[in-house]
Structure 1
Amino acid sequence: MAKVGEGDERWIVDDLGAQGTNVNSWHWQEKDILPWAKQRLQELLGDLSIADESGEITLKTGSGVSVGGDAIINNRKKKLIPSYELEVKGTWTGSVKDSGPAEGTFTLPYIADENADEDPELKVAVTGDSKAAQQLREVFLTRGKQLVHERIQGFVKEVQAGGPSPAQQQRPAQGAAASSASGQDSQAAAKFREEELTRQKAAAAAKRKAAEERERARDRAPTATVELSERFYARPADLYECFTNVGRVQAFSQSPAQVEPKVGGKFSIYGGSVEATFTALQEPSQIDMDWRFRNWPDGSVSKVKLTLEELQEGVTVLNLVQKGVPKEDRYGNGEVVENTTHGWKQQIFHRIRAVFGFGL
């Protein structure tokens, strides 16, 4: 991600002067929200109380949550465009009735704008290998994970809304310390379960609403179709393997790749810049995929159809039709169709010809 001040200098407005105005937020402006993000994540993830259904296994996260990375809000044409990559680390302590105490650490290694719609990975480690430590870790990875993910979902929504607000800055951390003092007795455990259930229902409702809004926005967004026809001096089976054999994909892309040649299997190249799923395979004549680039708007997925036709022995024509290509990426840049066309020609077709000798 671009750090503060690393955006395209043609669009970033640092100082409009005493008389200047940024009418309708037309110019690109950046706001560093990392200090707020650190404070907010400490509030949300510090002093969390977690318990199993019986109330006999209880744990609590420490208040000293550390946050590293970068977080900025870009604003252009009244669009708020968050860009962030954060790593969160914290500690926890807990106890199991009749087994004793234990402690450990937790880590959220990657909270970023590119996976805003996904629950981030949660790693939980323990100090020692006692039975109590393993029981506490298991509770953290089940009941605790749900709570952590709900808090992160709330944080992401706040970032997408522009980050800190005056009311929020004055508001103390919510819910973290409410049940910490009496977590071991059954009354506190019951209260915790009730609060957690309420949070889960609210989070599920918010998630459904957000998904519906993304779906509506995606349907309204203007899209285009890319159509290309390329000739290769190769048999259809050879070209088919260039998209379904991980060794061949890594050879022409010169980068790690993920290729699972089955319906529902994943296809990813260039460090995840391209993310796709196979939807139909007819060896060696047709490949269908749901295809998107990482910088496309959330929920934007195009339909790719590759057909391979051998005009004469050793000469194959590849026809590509890609429907649903957005006309703007998530940052408001309007060259998506041109970049997509150029990417197919230069980063895929040209490289396949050059690497495998299928003609230039």
Structure 2
Amino acid sequence: MVVHNPNNWHWIDKNCLPWSKDYLKENIIDTAYEDDSFRFVVTAVDSVSGDCDVTQRKGKVLCIYDMRLQFSLSGAIKKGNDEEEEETISATIVIPEFVHDQGEDEYIFEIESASQKSEIRKHFVPILKEKLMKFQPDLLEAHAKDVQHATD
């Protein structure tokens, strides 16, 4: 496709939602936390919905996303050295608004679980948040070249 866009001046958008789903499955599944008392691991990316675009306007590449994310989490409460003594935990983590212009401390993590919500929030959410903070730079790195063309 040939695009006449002198100096990358005009809007160009690329829908990156399919890439986002693949990225989250690749980078979030198997995210884990373990200590002497607990083990938590993401087992599935249940849902990724919303918008995720990389755009270019007036020579600047930007990403704009507003997505709802849902992950399945499994884990255990350790009650000794034997795995048979562990109590199984399952949970769902929902991020109702994963947005491009939010600060790290503004994300809301809704945890649905019969038990250990506070332990999941205290120990696991910081690890998950750290991985999610890499999304925006990785998105731009993967797609910036698709919305700009050489001006030489």
TM class, shorter-chain normalised?
Answer: 0.7 to 0.9
- Find runs of 4+ consecutive structure 1 residues off by over 6 angstroms: none
Q: 1:137-156: CA deviations, max 9, x gaps?
A: 33321121111111111002
Q: Is residue 40 from structure 1 mapped to residue 23 from structure 2 by the alignment?
A: yes
- Structure 1 residue aligned with 2:62: 81
| 1:110 and 2:97 are equivalent in the alignment | yes
Provide the aligned C-alpha RMSD in A: 2.2
- Give the letter for the 1:109 counterpart: P
The one-letter amino acid of 2:14's match is K
Hey, what's the Cα distance between the residues in 2 that align with 1:95 and 1:152?
23
Name 2:149's counterpart in structure 1.
Answer: none
Q: Distance in 1 between matches of 2:44 and 2:29?
A: 4
In structure 2, relative to structure 1, the CA distance for the partners of 1:71 and 1:46 (3 Å cut) is same
- Alpha-carbon distance in 2 for matches of 1:162, 1:30: 15
Residue 147 of structure 1 is matched in structure 2 by: 127
Cα distance in 2 for residues equivalent to 1:21 and 1:165:
17
Per the TM alignment, residue 164 of structure 1 is displaced from its structure 2 partner at its CA by 4.3
What is the alpha-carbon distance in structure 2 between the residues aligned to residue 165 and residue 51 of structure 1?
37
Distance 2:51 2:72 in 1: 22
Cα offset, 1:31, TM superposition: 0.7
For the pair shown, the structure with the greater C-alpha radius of gyration is: 1
> Hey, what does 1:49 align to over in structure 2?
32
Cα pair 2:24 2:45 within 8 Å, conserved: no
Residue correspondence of structure 1 range 269-280 to structure 2 within 5 A = none
Q: Which one of 48, 62, 66 corresponds to residue 67 of structure 1?
A: 48
Q: SS of the counterpart of 2:101?
A: helix
| 2:11 aligned residue | 28
The 8 Å contact of residues 40 and 73 in structure 2, kept in 1 or not, is answered as yes
What is the TM-score normalised by the length of structure 2? 0.79
- Percent sequence identity over aligned pairs: 22
The CA distance in 2 between the partners of 1:29 and 1:51, in whole Å, is 44
The CA deviation at 1:165 is 8.1
Q: 1:151 to 1:58 in 2, by over 3 A?
A: same
State how far apart, in whole Å, the 1-side matches of 2:132 and 2:9 are. 31
Deviations 1:32-90 (A, max 9, x none): 111111111222221211113x2x31121113442110111110222012111001001
Equivalents in 2 of 1:68, 1:84: separation in Å? 10
Distance in 1 (CA, whole Å) between partners of 2:137 and 2:45 is 23
Q: Is the Cα contact below 8 Å between 1:69 and 1:85 reproduced in 2?
A: yes
Count of residue pairs the alignment pairs up:
138
Verify the 8 A CA contact 2:104 2:129 in the aligned structure 1: no
Cα distance in 1 between the residues matched to 2:44 and 2:25: 7
For 2:110 and 2:28, locate their aligned partners in 1 and report how far apart those are by CA, in whole Å: 14
SS in 2 for 1:62: strand
> Equivalents in 1 of 2:143, 2:127: separation in Å?
22
Q: Which residue of 2 aligns with 1:266?
A: none
Distance 2:18 2:41 in 1: 24
Q: Kindly indicate whether the alpha-carbon contact (under 8 Å) linking 1:94 and 1:102 is maintained by their aligned counterparts in 2.
A: yes
1:48/1:144 CA distance change after superposition, 3 Å: same
Structure showing the higher strand proportion among its residues: 2
1:73 counterpart SS class: strand
Match of 1:101 in 2: 88
Correspondence list, 1:293-304, <5 A:
none
Q: Which runs of 5+ in 2 are unaligned?
A: 80-85, 146-152
